[in-house]
Chains A and B, each alone.
Chain A
Amino acid sequence: MSSTSQKHKDFVAEPMGEKSVMALAGIGEVLGKRLEEKGFDKAYVVLGQFLVLRKDEELFREWLKDTCGANTKQQGDCYSCLREWCDSFL
């Protein structure tokens, strides 16, 4: 498994609660702001979108790209972060 960032580990370690969307792995300030503008101000809202897309990788990646312009790496980081969180807590 490729190395995961500290952010990823931190996010996956505990329930997300009210964490901001920028706590997600792969989502930095710029992307976070774009997401917030679209209404995804909290991590759980992005989680909601992830679940509505039935945790499908391809669709979620595409959605991220369309919504905030994430590149391939960022998409992958966010996807794996959310998926792992779901595996642990959902």
Chain B
Amino acid sequence: MPVFVEDPAQFSKERLKSELIAHNVALPPPESKKHAYVELYLKHVKTNSTDFSSDEEEDHLNGSAEKEEAAEMVDLGLLTDDQLKAKLLQYGVKAGPILASTRFLYEKKLKRLLDSSAQHKINGTADAGLYSDSEEEDDEEQDSDEEQDSESEQLLSETKPRTETSKTASRDLTRLDKDTMTSKSLCLTSPSSRQKQTIREPASDVLSEMFPDAERTPTGIFATKRRSIKGAAGRPVQFKYPELPLLSPTILERQEIQQRLVPLWVQVIVFLMVVCLLYIIYSCMDEQLSSPFTALLDGLHESALTCISSFTGA
């Protein structure tokens, strides 16, 4: 409401009341004189007039929870029944009649709502910060576990800041393989495996120099558990996932099929041979086959006739 003449003393008591309610100020007790209303009006409206409407709203919203809470708590007892009901409605509580027996309960409820809302504001910001941090960490770990190719690039870039000395890329990777036997290090083998052949030939001595404490293997190469690219260069799939049992179901099936394949061919050949033999026999004994068939048929016929006659006779 635009007020051009700011002389609250000239306002009626009712006007002052409505103004105070509009500005969300707790009214003084009903018995108080107009003077009290004027004072409150001046205090509140004056402070708001310095800041314009947008600031005013922001102040209301962003005002410290404690301030609001303190102000509300003091005024809860001073609120009229209607105001109390309105405030409860703000929090979504549809209150019944505010009577002598119910007023105290509703005041307590409103107080609880104010406390919870104040705490909710504080907790909300803190939790958001926590979650964001944890998510970032998880994402990093997940990325390193799952993908390989893109990961290799990432890790190459990561290794550089991690490693202290500035050696060749291959040596860095091998060193990390030795030091950190985590899944991340396993991923490093993807580029390292490609470079393996180039590394191994000149680096057999270098490896022994690098890892003097390592036990000597028959091949002379320290066998770290390196992950190879799946299916590349004829490497079997089994080594990609060392955690899984070596005989995965698909591999088992393939082996079973392979076991059958060998005798299957033999079975087919044998079958064909038998068919050929039978055909040869049939072709050779073409004339004689007809007589046993006819003899059988005649025999069957006679037996059937005898059965029927015996049945009809009996």
Q: How far does the alpha carbon of A53 sit from the alpha carbon of B108 in the complex, in Å?
A: 14
Say yes or no: A53 contacts B104, CB within 8 Å: no
Name which of B95-103, B160-168, B189-197, B291-299 contacts chain A. Answer: B95-103
Q: What residues of B have a CB within 8 angstroms of the CB of A49 in the complex?
A: 101
Say yes or no: B99 contacts A52, CB within 8 Å: yes
The reply to whether the CB of A11 lies closer than 8 angstroms to some CB of chain B is no
Q: How far does the alpha carbon of A49 sit from the alpha carbon of B100 in the complex, in Å?
A: 11
Least CB distance from A60 to B in Å reads 9
Least CB distance from A18 to B in Å reads 21
Q: What residues of B have a CB within 8 angstroms of the CB of A63 in the complex?
A: 101-102, 105
Q: What residues of A have a CB within 8 angstroms of the CB of B106 in the complex?
A: 59
The reply to whether the CB of B109 lies closer than 8 angstroms to some CB of chain A is yes
> How many residues of B sit at the interface, in one of the four size bands?
10 to 19
B94 in complex: contacting residue of A52, A54, A58, A62, CB < 8 Å: A54
Least CB distance from A44 to B in Å reads 15
Q: How far does the alpha carbon of A56 sit from the alpha carbon of B97 in the complex, in Å?
A: 13
Within 8 A of B (CB), among A26-72: 49, 52-54, 56, 58-59, 62-63, 66
- Interface SS of A by simple majority: helix
Chain A-chain B contacts (Cβ-Cβ < 8 Å), number: 25
Least CB distance from B165 to A in Å reads 67
Closest to B95 in A: A54
- Interface SS of B by simple majority: helix
Say yes or no: B105 contacts A54, CB within 8 Å: no
Least CB distance from A56 to B in Å reads 8
Q: What residues of A have a CB within 8 angstroms of the CB of B96 in the complex?
A: 52-54, 56
Q: How far does the alpha carbon of A54 sit from the alpha carbon of B105 in the complex, in Å?
A: 13
Q: What residues of B have a CB within 8 angstroms of the CB of A54 in the complex?
A: 94-96
Say yes or no: B104 contacts A66, CB within 8 Å: yes
Bitwise interface map of B from 101 to 132 toward A, beta carbon under 8 Å scored 1, else 0: 11011101100000000000000000000000
Q: Which of B94, B105, B108, B109 has the most CB of A within 10 A?
A: B105
Say yes or no: B102 contacts A62, CB within 8 Å: no
A59 in complex: contacting residue of B97, B99, B109, CB < 8 Å: B109
Q: How far does the alpha carbon of A54 sit from the alpha carbon of B93 in the complex, in Å?
A: 12
Q: What residues of B have a CB within 8 angstroms of the CB of A52 in the complex?
A: 96-97, 99, 101-102
Q: What residues of A have a CB within 8 angstroms of the CB of B108 in the complex?
A: 62
Q: How far does the alpha carbon of A59 sit from the alpha carbon of B102 in the complex, in Å?
A: 9
Closest to A51 in B: B96
Say yes or no: A66 contacts B101, CB within 8 Å: no
Q: What residues of A have a CB within 8 angstroms of the CB of B102 in the complex?
A: 52-53, 59, 63
Q: What residues of A have a CB within 8 angstroms of the CB of B101 in the complex?
A: 49, 52, 63
Say yes or no: A59 contacts B105, CB within 8 Å: yes
Closest to B94 in A: A54
Say yes or no: B99 contacts A62, CB within 8 Å: no
Least CB distance from A52 to B in Å reads 6
Say yes or no: B97 contacts A62, CB within 8 Å: no
A66 in complex: contacting residue of B94, B97, B99, B105, CB < 8 Å: B105
Q: What residues of B have a CB within 8 angstroms of the CB of A62 in the complex?
A: 105, 108
Q: What are the 8 tightest A-B residue pairs by CB atom distance, in nearest-first order?
A: A54-B96, A59-B105, A52-B96, A63-B105, A53-B96, A62-B105, A52-B102, A52-B97
| Extra inter-chain contacts (15) besides given A59-B106, A63-B101, A63-B102, CB under 8 Å | A52-B96, A52-B97, A52-B99, A52-B101, A53-B96, A53-B105, A54-B94, A56-B96, A58-B109, A59-B102, A59-B109, A62-B105, A62-B108, A63-B105, A66-B104
Residues of B that sit less than 8 Å from A by CB: 94-97, 99, 101-102, 104-106, 108-109
User: Can you name 11 A-B residue pairings with CB atoms under 8 Å?
Assistant: A52-B96, A52-B99, A52-B102, A53-B102, A53-B105, A56-B96, A59-B109, A62-B105, A62-B108, A63-B101, A66-B104
